Amino acid sequence: MKRIMPFMLLLAALVVPDGIFAQRKVTVKLASPVPENTPWGAALNRMSSEWDRVSNGNVELRVYHGGVAGAEEDVLRKLKMNQIQGAVFTSFGLNLITPEIITLSVPFLIRNDRELEVVLRALKPELEAKINEKGFYTLAWAKSGWVKIFSKAPVFVPADLKRQKVGTSPEAPEITQVFKSMGYQMVPITNADVLVSLNSGMVEAVYQSPVFIGGMQIFGITKHMASINLAPFMGGIILNQQAWQRIPDAYKAPITAVSQKIAAEIDASISRLETEAVRSMITYGLTVNQVSEEQAALWYGDMEKAMPTLLRTTFDQTIYRKIETILREHRSK
């Protein structure tokens, strides 16, 4: 019997490698469309270090920055095939998972940071559940600033923009359809082609993040920015369920906590960067056209007229009505 016992213990160690005797390292490959030398990139690198710390080195996060994994549609396909296990998606990418998400970006519906916070606090659990039902796990959300209108000629009211050809992302057909239905001249162009298209006159205006416009030096051509917020720009950190289930239960709560903490840091840094980008562009000749309350009402009214049709063809009616109710109650206080 004494001779048998060491053999039995060795056999147990070999057949139970994930139990008492060993802990297999879990590797999560995460794709991000954002360059590494940005606040998002730096934050994701910190997140990788934090995952390593809170999991005692048992869960590794490898970040693939700068869109090397492809466009958001390609990334989603790779996520489903488990070629990668996680991704940072914009509002457009999240919309590919579940179409209710794009309703957060209805133009001029949510108008400032406070309104966005109120809406997200109320609807995040429902939207996360819809994402998770599709075979994913929503690790964290981050606000990525506001989309603004940049143009060659000043824009104060809808009629000013309707006279100009507007560049729009081919990855956001819903938003393109919104503006087309309202009489705008929409021209699909990729982010990589924005500068060339503006220089050639193919487009005369774009709606984009001030951080993107500043980073690409586009404000040298689009010398005007309308002060009104067009829509919030969201980001989400998503894992597939295979990856989430492979992470040991003991590490799930701390990994979620540090990821959400870093997402909150991204919120703060993006807001600061946006302010700094606008201030810097003003120094180099950008004019911020201050839209008055009366002029803003024209934008809001234009959108309200289009909404009945858009709710039948483009946006989720149930989520839209919930957002509308939340905002009505918030604005009445």
**pLDDT higher than threshold 50 for residue 258:** yes
pLDDT value of residue 233: 84
How far is residue 138's CA from residue 46's CA, in Å, rounded to a whole number?
Answer: 19
pLDDT tens per residue across span 130-172 = 999 999 999 998 887 899 999 999 999 999 999 999 998 887 7
Give yes or no for residue 236 having a pLDDT over 70. Answer: yes
Statement: residue 10 has pLDDT above 70: no
Q: What is the mean pLDDT of residues 10-15?
A: 41
Distance CA 285, CA 283 (A): 6
CB-based contact 198:204 (threshold 8 Å): yes
CB atoms within 10 A of CB 255: 23
Domain assignment present for 122: yes
Q: Residue 331: pLDDT above 60?
A: yes
Do residues 64 and 31 lie in contact, with contact meaning Cβ atoms separated by under 8 Å? Answer: yes
HSE-CB of 113 using CA atoms within 13 angstroms: 10
The CATH number that applies at residue 143 is 3.40.190.170
d(CA 191, CA 132): 29
Q: Specify if 73 maps to a domain.
A: yes
Structure tokens at 260: 């959400």
Overall average pLDDT of the 234-261 stretch: 94
Measure the CA–CA gap between 199 and 79, rounded to whole angstroms. Answer: 37
Question: Does residue 296 form part of some domain?
Answer: yes
Average pLDDT for the chain: 88
Domain assignment present for 5: no
User: pLDDT-derived band of residue 16, with 50, 70 and 90 as boundaries?
Assistant: very low
Where b means 16+ CB within 10 Å and e means fewer, 166-193 reads bbbbebbbbbbbbbeebebbbbebebee
At 23, is the pLDDT very low, low, confident or very high (cuts 50, 70, 90)?
Answer: low
On whether residue 7 sits in a domain, the answer given is no
Provide the residue range defining the domain that includes 190.
23-331
Q: Tens digits of per-residue pLDDT, 54-109? A: 999 999 999 999 888 988 889 999 999 999 999 999 888 888 898 888 899 899 99
pLDDT at 114 over 70: yes
4 belongs to a structural domain: no
Nearest to 182 by CA among 95, 321, 294, 301: 301
Q: Whole-prediction pTM value?
A: 0.82
Does 118 map to a domain?
Answer: yes
pLDDT at residue 175 in the model: 78
Q: Which residue has the higher pLDDT, 216 or 58?
A: 58
> pLDDT tens digit string along 39-64?
778 889 999 999 999 999 999 999 99
pLDDT tens for 181-192 read 889 999 998 877
* DSSP-derived 3-state class of residue 179: helix
> Could you identify the residue written with the tokens 């809170």?
54
Q: Which of 134, 166, 131, 133 is nearest to 150 (CA)?
A: 166
Cβ atoms < 10 Å from Cβ of 154: 12
Number of domains in the chain: 1
pLDDT digits (tens, 9 = 90+) for 301-315: 999 988 888 888 888
Residue 52 neighbours by CB under 8 Å, 6+ apart: 59, 60, 61
More confident residue, 12 or 128: 128
| Residue 115 located in a structural domain | yes
- pLDDT band, residue 9 (cuts 50/70/90): very low
